[in-house]
Amino acid sequence: MHSVNYEGPRQANGIVAYLLKRAAPASIELTSVETAESLKQEAPVIVVYAGNAEEWWLDRAKSKRDAVQWCHATDEAVLKNFGAEPGTITMIKDSDD
């Protein structure tokens, strides 16, 4: 494990949210279209790997977990929802930035 400079909120609720995100898996496995749709509503930028959470994927997700929401999926309906083909990486953004 490596140290990280904390530059987030200084109030309790912001610190707790930061710690919960760090304690959660770096890449979330999406197993349903409902979960994928919910994530699209919550996260401004999502990076989806259309495959199993392999070590190389988890390493990248851990290194940039604060920048975007990382997830992976093998469910065909979820991949179709994201417009992803097996073995590819897809980025979903909610804006034109």
Instruction: Give me the torsion for CA of 28, 83, 76, 81, rounded to 10°.
Output: 70
pLDDT digits (tens, 9 = 90+) for 27-85: 999 999 999 999 999 889 999 999 999 999 999 999 888 889 999 999 999 999 999 99
pTM of the model: 0.78
Which listed CATH number (3.40.718.10, 3.40.640.10, 3.30.465.10, 3.40.30.10) goes with 27-93?
Answer: 3.40.30.10
Q: What is the pLDDT of residue 14?
A: 84
**Strand arrangement, sheet containing 45-49:** 27-29, 69-72, 45-49, 89-93
Residue 70: CB atoms within 10 Å: 24
Q: What is the pLDDT of residue 33?
A: 95
Distance CA(77)–CA(49), nearest Å, equals: 14
Name the β-bridge partners of 69: 46
